[in-house]
Amino acid sequence: MAHHVPDNSRRRFIKLTAVGLAAAPFANALLSGGTARAADLISETDPTASSLAYVADAAKSDKRKDATALCSNCGLYTGKAGDASGPCAIFQGKLVAANGWCTAWTKKAA
């Protein structure tokens, strides 16, 4: 009977340690990934963005005439197809939303 108590405690300790070790790198990846993504997206209130009437959601713009115009099909957008955001030639060092739009939109060459 006396042998079972330390055995169980040790097993529990090993199990908890293993879970902690397995989860630690994952938590770090989540934290750094989230921070980087938030810092890189251009804000609608950025002076250049607001001068071009940039919106992260093109559907919310009252200036957009072409309902199919989006950052993702703009000639100045260099993001990968299917990504939620990508680089734009106008906003160096920042990302624009794939579903965004601004007055500098120009049809991407086919």
Size of site (CB under 6 A) for ligand SF4: 13
Closer CB to ligand SF4, residue 37 or residue 63? Answer: 63
Closer CB to ligand SF4, residue 11 or residue 108? Answer: 108
* Alpha helix ranges (H) inside 1-110: 4-40, 47-51
Q: Does 41 help bind ligand SF4 (rule: CB under 6 A)?
A: no
d(Cα 67, Cα 61) in Å, to the nearest integer?
A: 10
Q: Least distance in Å: CB of 74 to ligand SF4?
A: 3
Closer CB to ligand SF4, residue 41 or residue 104? Answer: 104
Q: Least distance in Å: CB of 25 to ligand SF4?
A: 35
Asked whether the beta carbons of 61 and 55 are under 8 A apart, the reply is yes
| H helix count then E strand count, the chain | 2, 2
Which positions from 46 through 105 interact with ligand SF4, judged by CB under 6 A? 54, 71, 74, 76-77, 88, 90, 96, 100-102, 104-105
- The total number of residues shown for the chain amounts to 110
Asked whether the beta carbons of 57 and 99 are under 8 A apart, the reply is yes
Residue type, 77: Y
Residues that bind ligand SF4 (CB under 6 A): 54, 71, 74, 76-77, 88, 90, 96, 100-102, 104-105
